[in-house]
Structure 1
Amino acid sequence: MIDSHYTKSQCRGRSCIRGMRIRVSNILEMLAENVSISEILEDFPDLEPEDIQACLVFAARRTDFVRLTALRFGLMHSYPRHWQVG
């Protein structure tokens, strides 16, 4: 389980794993550096394989959002004049 409630007292407000002081970003960085899951589990004996899977799911969900942008030409004419840039 990933704790995404942000408190300054734990992990400086960053997402952590099951209330422990292990940040999701640390695990993701280790995976990105090709550290094996077994090595991560050895380094962090309180972690379980499901915790690492939860980190990956958490990251996937954090990046899966629609980003709306207005085109400089085309849509700008439909916005009020004070919204237009340029």
Structure 2
Amino acid sequence: MTLLDRITVNPLQCGGRPCIRGMRIRVSDVLDLLGAGVEVDEILSDYPDLEREDIYAALIWAARYVDHPRLSA
């Protein structure tokens, strides 16, 4: 399993937004917490189902998402 395999998308869950390992914890939730300055250990404490690798996966997913080329017509 690669880190990005931890990111799942299910159209019937969370409006089809990317989530962590099929849970109802969205990638954007993790990124918002990190962006607000919440420490990784605090996030893991507040969300006991999360693993440290899930947070790394969210960061990798975000980096790839923003680096995705866009074509305009």
One-letter amino acid of the structure 1 residue matched with residue 63 of structure 2: A
Q: TM-score, normalised by structure 2?
A: 0.84
Percent of matched pairs sharing the same residue: 56
Q: Considering only aligned residues, what root-mean-square deviation do their CA atoms show, in Å?
A: 1.4
Does 1:33 pair with 2:8? no
Counterpart selection for 1:7 from 5, 8, 11: 11
Counterpart selection for 1:42 from 38, 42, 45: 45
Does 1:62 pair with 2:73? no
**Hey, what's the Cα distance between the residues in 1 that align with 2:35 and 2:7?**
19
Other structure's SS at 2:22 match: coil
Q: Which structure features the higher share of helix residues?
A: 2
Q: Is there any run of 5+ residues in structure 1 with no aligned partner, and where?
A: 71-86
- Of the two structures, which has the highest relative contact order with CA contacts closer than 8 Å and spacing of 6 or more? 2
One-letter amino acid of the structure 1 residue matched with residue 36 of structure 2: E
Structure with max Cα Rg: 1
